Amino acid sequence: MAAGDEGAFELHLNNYSYGIESLGLEEVDNKVYRVSNRHSSLVNWAFASLYISSYVSSGFLAAFGWDNNKNSNIESRNRNFKRIIPDTEVFKKSGFSWGCQEKIYMANSNRIDVVHYTQSKVSNDNKGAFSLLEPFSNDSNSGKIISAGTAYFGVIVEYDESLTVLCSDQEIINFSEPVVRWRVYPRSIRYENHLHVIYEDRLEIYSFNHDYFIKQEDKILGIQYKKEITNKNNR
């Protein structure tokens, strides 16, 4: 949960499939933990970690890792907090950044920098955790960035007066009209290729189907699709 000046929080539910203790976090209420007191505008999962964006300051990764549960008689792992990693450590510079799963993005002038994130390599020195990919030119820049997000089919960037989809096949699609709200559904079963856009007077639903033909390991824009994941803890 991104809560602006209050920071970022996690609500721990009882149905976790792993140990619910996120060691090192402050419990501020029943099952509510403070991840960071830094300004937080948007938050999304990067596997066990969280990438948090800010309109006021800079983005950062709340890095978590999987540790063996030494207090259990059965083989299990706990998701434990490691540390806060600022965007300057990820990109070696600062800007508006966001991330989801294995990719983290930063928008600067007319290009978007892309970093591949490896959850299993998060440590104190982060050696190998962040790999810089080829930047993507974005000539559709049309003002201040309002919001951004990632789906399987590409990257969505909202500006003051428009919405842009940077597709995983590197096509750029512009919707030249200010939007009230938009949403993608990368964690759904049936709507992972949908973009829902609410305008002042209507709702429009767009379906993107090009990503089926993209080699997932090579794409720069969008979440990598995997049919089967044998070890969820080491993604």
**Residue ranges covered by each domain of the chain:** 1-100, 138-230
* Residue among 200, 205, 221 nearest 157 (CA): 221
Give whole-number Cα distances, 145 to 43, 84, 119, 203, 223, in Å: 16, 24, 27, 22, 21
Percent of the chain with pLDDT over 90: 34
Give whole-number Cα distances, 82 to 28, 33, 46, in Å: 19, 14, 14
* Residue among 121, 56, 117, 57 nearest 90 (CA): 117
Query: Rounded CA gap, 155 and 148, in Å?
Result: 7
pLDDT at residue 193 tops 90: yes
Q: Residues 6 or more apart from 36 whose CB is under 8 A from it?
A: 7, 8, 52, 60, 62, 84
Q: pLDDT tier at 231 (50, 70, 90 boundaries)? A: very low
Mean pLDDT computed over 214-224: 89
Mean pLDDT of all residues in the chain?
83
Q: pLDDT tier at 64 (50, 70, 90 boundaries)? A: confident
For the segment 71-116, what is each residue's pLDDT rounded down to a tens digit?
Answer: 655 556 778 888 899 999 899 888 889 999 999 999 876 788 999 9
Are the beta carbons of 1 and 43 closer than 8 angstroms?
yes
Q: Which helix or strand (DSSP H or E) is residue 197 part of?
A: strand 194-198
Q: One-letter amino acid identity for 45?
A: W
Q: What is the pTM of this model?
A: 0.82
Query: Rounded CA gap, 78 and 61, in Å?
Result: 19
* Residue among 174, 195, 197, 173 nearest 185 (CA): 195
